[in-house]
A = this chain, B = another copy of it.
Amino acid sequence: MAKTKVAILGFGTVGGGVADVLAARRFADIEVTHVYNRDYTRKLSRPQAKKLPRTVIWTDDINVILKSDVDVVVELIGGLEPIEGWLKKAIAAGKSVVTANKQLIAYRGAGLEKLAAKKGVSLLYGAAVAGGVPVIPGALQGIGGDEIVRISGIVNGTCNFILSHMEQGAEYAEVLAQAQKLGYAEANPSADVDGYDARAKLCILSRVAMHAELNPDEVPTQSISKVSAVDFHYAKELGCTIRQVSRAQVQDGVVHARVGPMVVPTESPIAWSHGTQNMVVTSGRFGGDVVFSGHGAGAHPTAVAVVSDLLAVAQQCGVVHQPVRKRAVVGEFLAPHYLRFVVSDKPGIVSAIAGALAKVGANIDSILQRPGYPKDRLPFVVTTEPCLTSVVERAVRSIAKMDCMLEKPLCLQMLRIEDKAED
């Protein structure tokens, strides 16, 4: 059997993980022949480097890879430039590509896929979303026959680590610091906590599962950094918790999509994920809800996704293609909303808030005020019946101007359990 020759671009954490997995599994049909890395000499002493065949050619010149006879380029560097150009050249040279690069696939995936189809090579990116959780092959291959109308996911492990730990009573800043210490969060955590990482993954899922091509920049994001420990107390009273949810829904030719902290029922699958786990729920017109869950990141789970894609390329297994359409994104959802205010208490506040909500036509579903908070800095919560986020936000903007408001009010979408098992 002719071996499939593989070049690894980027021998960092995941690259090392790929070396571990390949060394352990010893697939007869896969051979790493090249590794590209800047200043690669510092990598040679890593134990994982020693797991590669001795014949591997290390280089810091991408042209060595592009001009070589490798069959597959495994790209584990990340970012748009110069990667896009490199991979286009690789595809043009007849090489297949396996990548874990979510930004690249979210922003430039459509173009790369066209190029790959034209050249008759594979472009696989199972590792780009939810690492070791096979939601991309599952959506493409396993439920490709269904018409997926909704995706809800927890696809950012950092946010899930932070929020599931805040659930235990800690404050945001404290848990973020802990996550940074453990290596789960970057020094600048914005890409994670502000939702940009999750947004890219949501757009990839939208394409593979709903065949809807979105512009990631059009998907509204909301930071988790404004969620406070008190919100978990109130969420608990509502039978809920809070997670960073990435959701998208096809309706009448547009896609409603949003990434941000949301209030989710404790019995919803979305609430099951703890720590850095990832979870994606797809909702199909025919098959109902399907849940995929597991370790979304880390060297080895991500390496499993990469190596699984490599196997598919080596065995020339194609991927089911379905026609993809560009879709406009709408950030609106018809949903109940959770509004948390922090006020210096005085008579008439609830009445004023109720008035502002009534003015936009938003009905109050519940008002919660837990005892034990100081009256001069009182957090309390109002939930609304289902209404459009933009409408609630309009009311919240006017409420925010009230003298008694000590903080900008927090407005979160509340997720409902829409598909139950038949019991």
Contacts and interface: CB of A to CB of B under 8 A. Distances in A.
A391 to B, nearest CB: 33
A294 B273 CA distance: 16
Nearest to A308: B145
Given A138-B138, A286-B301, 15 more contacts: A21-B145, A24-B147, A132-B288, A137-B137, A143-B305, A145-B308, A146-B307, A146-B308, A275-B420, A275-B422, A276-B422, A277-B421, A287-B294, A287-B301, A316-B318
A323 to B, nearest CB: 9
A423 B165 contact: yes
Residue among A126, A294, A298 with max Cβ neighbours from chain B (10 Å): A294
A303 interface: yes
A46 to B, nearest CB: 17
A308 B209 CA distance: 12
B164 A423 contact: yes
A303 B145 contact: yes
A320 B318 CA distance: 10
A80 interface: no
Contact of A144 (B24, B269, B272, B308): B308
Interface in A402-423: 420-423
B277 A25 contact: no
Contact of A292 (B274, B292, B300, B316): B292
Contacts of A304: 143, 145-146, 284, 286-287
A49 interface: no
A289 to B, nearest CB: 6
A92 interface: no
5 contacts: A141-B317, A145-B309, A275-B420, A286-B303, A317-B320
Contacts of A141: 134, 137, 141, 308, 312, 317
B285 A145 contact: no
Contacts of A316: 318
Interface in A6-27: 17, 20-21, 24-25
A331 to B, nearest CB: 28
A133 B301 contact: no
A86 to B, nearest CB: 24
B315 A287 contact: no
A20 B303 contact: no
Nearest to A323: B28
A399 B92 CA distance: 73
A241 interface: no
A118 B147 CA distance: 34
Interface in A122-157: 126, 131-138, 141-147
Contacts of A273: 421
B276 A310 contact: no
A311 to B, nearest CB: 5
Given A25-B145, A311-B144, A276 B138 contact: no
Q: Count chain B CB atoms within 10 A of each CB in A135, A292, A318 and give the residue with the most.
A: A292
Residue among A132, A135, A145, A421 with most chain B CB within 10 A: A145
A320 B314 CA distance: 9
Contacts of A199: none
A311 B144 CA distance: 8
Nearest to A135: B142
A161 interface: yes
